[in-house]
Structure 1
């Protein structure tokens, strides 16, 4: 039976964020705790500055706001922000090129996790008090690989919206289909160093399954008796291996 996607995305997001964080990406801090016996994932705010007894709000814009896109059009397939549009917006805001690289690492991470919901509202920028702009920590990331919608007749829907990334890479959105030519095209269109991109993708395909296994071990209390890890890990591992193979070939 498929894992119930409606009830497990919260836990999946916690595990996916922990995985990317363990790889060195900047992610929102989440922790598992219980209140009166109720299991809860607590997310620490990153849009606040604390100085002594004073707390200051840091202005945040998601990339629908930053690109004047209606939130109903948050997906690239519905005229929402693409990865290339986000990169252009960061550069126009005079963000350092390191922020562009951070976004690309997040884009790769979302792809390797099979996260279908990384749309324009799930990436943001922070406007710092000194006038600088930087990419906000990654948040709301959850793999769709263990899940599938089920019709009223009990059979999975093939076109369930969980098999494609929200943003294309070199013109391809389907998980497991991005190959060498797509990475090359993305590097050209994004005006980034192709060798750096390929090295980053390759390194992340090897590091992500290792990091995920370590997170599962450390988050045993949060996981409990959930079947999510056994459904998630093999598919993520397979997607990472496939991505590494296709990185060297065109399809």
Structure 2
């Protein structure tokens, strides 16, 4: 059996596991999005920065407040070619659970509360990272348009799993749809 090497962004950036959040209680500041984008730009195969930004936008839009640096990974190919982003994993939405923080693991342009991220924050992230702000904000809109069309299929897929038919599915669907609209509307502001 052949195994592919994978390292999370903390490993790739030489950070300890306790430094997975940009702001943490451990006293070890984790990487910010600018640093993570730099890693993707400098060390991964061409074309990976837009994929990474799509993942960040998706996590903001679904309220995945735990999308920290250990939940993004680099996957090394067996043929020795350039590494690429690993598929997203450990995805969760904290929107329907009371008492879960609304602070995301990394700031977007100086703001880490998903419902308070506006177009100016996406533009600031773009400026800090050498990305076209107009294209980034357009992509925020595109992803926020796609998510509601896919939520029902995702809910049905989870419900079909053993033990997957949980009463919270409807609540998560509603919360994700609401947050996606908020992220899109605030992006226009």
Q: TM-score, normalised by structure 2?
A: 0.90
- Report the count of equivalent residues: 183
- Per-residue CA distance 1:200-223 (angstroms, 9 max, x = gap): 110111110110112223443226
**Structure 1 Cα separation of the partners of residues 91 and 118 of structure 2:** 23
| SS class of match (1:130) | coil
Does the Cα contact within 8 Å between 1:75 and 1:167 map onto a contact in 2?
yes
| SS class of match (2:56) | helix
**Structure 1 Cα separation of the partners of residues 5 and 125 of structure 2:** 30
Of residues 68, 85, 89, the one that matches 1:119 is 68
The question of 1:234 aligning with 2:183 is answered no
- C-alpha root-mean-square deviation of aligned residues, in Å? 1.5
Does the Cα contact within 8 Å between 2:155 and 2:173 map onto a contact in 1?
no
| SS class of match (1:166) | strand
Provide structure 1 residue ranges, at least 5 long, that are not aligned to the other structure.
1-54, 150-159
The question of 1:198 aligning with 2:156 is answered no
| SS class of match (1:139) | coil
The question of 1:64 aligning with 2:3 is answered no
- Per-residue CA distance 1:94-134 (angstroms, 9 max, x = gap): 531x1111010000000001001111110000122323111
Task: Determine which structure has more spread, i.e. the larger CA radius of gyration.
Answer: 1
| SS class of match (1:165) | strand
Does the Cα contact within 8 Å between 1:116 and 1:166 map onto a contact in 2?
yes
Does the Cα contact within 8 Å between 1:184 and 1:194 map onto a contact in 2?
yes
The structure with the largest helix share of the pair is 2
Q: TM-score, normalised by structure 1?
A: 0.69
- Per-residue CA distance 1:150-170 (angstroms, 9 max, x = gap): xxxxxxxxxx4x211111111
Counterpart for residue 148 of structure 2: 209
Does the Cα contact within 8 Å between 2:61 and 2:144 map onto a contact in 1?
yes
Residues 225 and 130 (structure 1), Cα distance of their counterparts in 2 relative to 1, 3 Å cut: closer
The question of 1:136 aligning with 2:77 is answered no
**Structure 1 Cα separation of the partners of residues 188 and 126 of structure 2:** 15
Residues 94 and 234 (structure 1), Cα distance of their counterparts in 2 relative to 1, 3 Å cut: closer
Provide structure 2 residue ranges, at least 5 long, that are not aligned to the other structure.
none
| SS class of match (1:125) | strand
**Structure 1 Cα separation of the partners of residues 183 and 41 of structure 2:** 28
| SS class of match (2:84) | strand
Does the Cα contact within 8 Å between 1:81 and 1:119 map onto a contact in 2?
no
